[in-house]
Amino acid sequence: MLKVDISNVWGDLSLSDMLAAEPEVFSAHKTLAEGRGEGSDFLGWLNLPTFEQTEELRRIQRAAKQIRADSDIFVVIGIGGSYLGPRAAIELVKGQNHNLKDADPQIFFAGNNLSTRAWQELCELLEGKDFSINIISKSGTTTEPAIATRALRWMLERKYGAEKAKKRIYVTTDPANGALRRMAQDEGYESFVIPPDVGGRYSVLTAVGLLPMAVAGISPMDVMLGAARAKKELDLRSFENPAWQYATMRNLLYRRKKSIELLCCYEPRFRYFAGWWQQLFGESEGKDGKGIFPATAEFTADLHSLGQMIQQGERNIFETVLRFSPPQKKTLIDGDWKNLDGLNYLEGKSLDFVEEQAFLGTLSAHVDGGVPVIILQADDIDADTLGELFYFFELSCGISAYMLGVNPFNQPGVEFYKKNMFQLLGKPGY
């Protein structure tokens, strides 16, 4: 089970501060669990994890098997909550270079930007390849994925003919509403459901995340089992609950002017998971003139870029460091009789031992420098841990946002740029 170590925040906070916050975190958790808070129409994610194979999971597995059999490339179209979750999952479990391995189809993401260069690069990659697409959009009207969808559908039809192309188009959207649902019905595309009471950034444990994961060779059932275990374990109403500790500490630190949370990890494959976390907390909490700014860092690389700022810049940062269990297969550092690089003092040491010392050294430097550090300790990186982490952060975010006094489930601010863009583009009605 995920553990939270809060022993490195005590310079800034005391145990009595934490205990004094108990009624508040209790009430936030209760409000969330009982659906009595703002945005309570969007609590479907709370009960997505399941110990059972559902029909939807079976269909996801069947579709994934088909895609793995008939496609060299699988293009996942979506943005925001319809993009970051699947990418986070695939890169964390399969690694950043998963597309260079032969066993699975290559997976590319589209519709998450408006870059002509990115689009043209994707077209080149698809040249001469068999491919399928998964269009993910809850509303079915988001501009970036809609543009990519129009072009990719056309490419499929041109390549395979209209009827065969239909077998390569998978839609994940609202069960009844929106342009994409209509398109799936009219064209007869295989489709999956984003339940109406699950918002985009809380949707990774629906087909939004599970179909791309299954295509990548990650068992959706294992992910669900990890999430279901987390759901059970995190139902505790006491400070033994890791979600309570995390939600409380970040709020208490925020009240002490620590307005930036830096989520750090020593695994490069964590980068998109950090992006998913950033959207989850950023869109859920950044409103009404409030909110902890969610920033991310990849250590040790960013110790050589952001390290100076963290150590001696404005003291408005706290860190949350996510640690995974050490890898089971070790890599040892060789000796070199000439020792020209002066590294023989590390001879025979494992790389993860060196990484551990980097973590410990950084921890004490940052704490000494006035940066409180929350440590999250997870198990090894696998599908089960992935499910656990998704659920842990979603629950913590819901509790934390209610402690902050905001609605975690809306994102009114996101509409402003769209309105301006639509006016500029001359969209009817704007």
Footprint of ligand PA5 on this chain (CB under 6 A)?
A: 79-82, 137-139, 142, 145, 199-201, 283, 411
Shortest distance (Å) from residue 273 CB to ligand PA5? 16
Q: How many residues does the chain have?
A: 430
Alpha helices (runs of H) in 234-322, residue ranges in sequence order: 242-255, 271-285, 307-312
Q: Residue 52 carries which side chain, given as an amino acid letter? A: E
| Angle (deg, nearest 10), helices 207-215 and 84-94 | 30
> Least Å distance between CB 194 and ligand PA5?
7
Token pair 């704490």: residue: 367
Is 304 marked active-site? yes
Of the listed 3, 232, 330, 418, which one is catalytic? 418
Query: Which C-beta is closer to ligand PA5: that of 81 or that of 372?
Result: 81
Structure tokens at 33: 């669990």
User: What value does the CA radius of gyration of the chain take, rounded to a whole number of Å?
Assistant: 23
- CB nearer to ligand PA5: pick between 119 and 353: 119
Residue 228 in contact with residue 57, Cβ under 8 Å?
no
How many CB atoms sit inside 10 A of residue 421's CB?
13
Rounded CA-CA distance 365/204 in Å is 36
What six digits make up the tokens of 73? 């490339």
In angstroms, give the least distance from the CB of 254 to ligand PA5: 22
4 vs 77 by CB, closer to ligand PA5 = 77
Shortest Å, Cβ 180 to ligand PA5: 8
Q: Which residues of 385-413 are buried (b: 16+ CB within 10 A; e: fewer)?
A: bbbbbbbbbbbbbbbbbbbbebbbbbbee
Nearest distance from C-beta of residue 153 to ligand PA5, angstroms:
16
Q: Which is nearer to ligand PA5, 213 or 371 (CB)?
A: 213
CB of 199 vs ligand PA5, minimal distance in Å: 5
Which one is catalytic: 190, 261, 267, 283? 283
Nearer to ligand PA5 by Cβ, of 283 and 298: the residue is: 283
H helices of 95-219, where?
A: 116-126, 143-160, 162-166, 179-187, 207-215
Closest approach of ligand PA5 to the CB of residue 414, in Å: 6
Q: 287 catalytic, yes or no? A: no
Least CB distance to ligand PA5 at residue 191 (A): 14
What does the DSSP assignment read for 3-49? EEEEEESTTT--HHHHHHTHHHHHHHHHHHHTT-STTGGG-GGGG--
Nearest residue to ligand PA5, scored by beta-carbon proximity: 200
Structure tokens at 419: 């309105």
Q: Which two tokens stand for residue 275?
A: 């992006």
Asked if residue 264 lies in contact with residue 373, where contact means CB atoms within 8 angstroms, the answer is: no
Q: Does 138 participate in catalysis according to the annotation?
A: no
**Of 55, 240, 304, 314, catalytic:** 304
Cβ proximity to ligand PA5: between 77 and 310 the closer is: 77
Q: Is 396 helix (H, G, I), strand (E, B) or coil?
A: helix
The smaller minimum CB distance to ligand PA5, of residues 82 and 320, is found at: 82
Cα angle 32-34-36, degrees, rounded to a multiple of 5: 75
State the Cα–Cα distance between residues 218 and 212, nearest whole angstrom: 9
Q: What is the number of other CB atoms lying within 10 angstroms of the CB of residue 69?
A: 8
In this complex, which beta carbon is closest to ligand PA5, that of residue 81 or of residue 220? 81
Query: Hey, which residues are catalytic here?
Result: 283, 304, 418
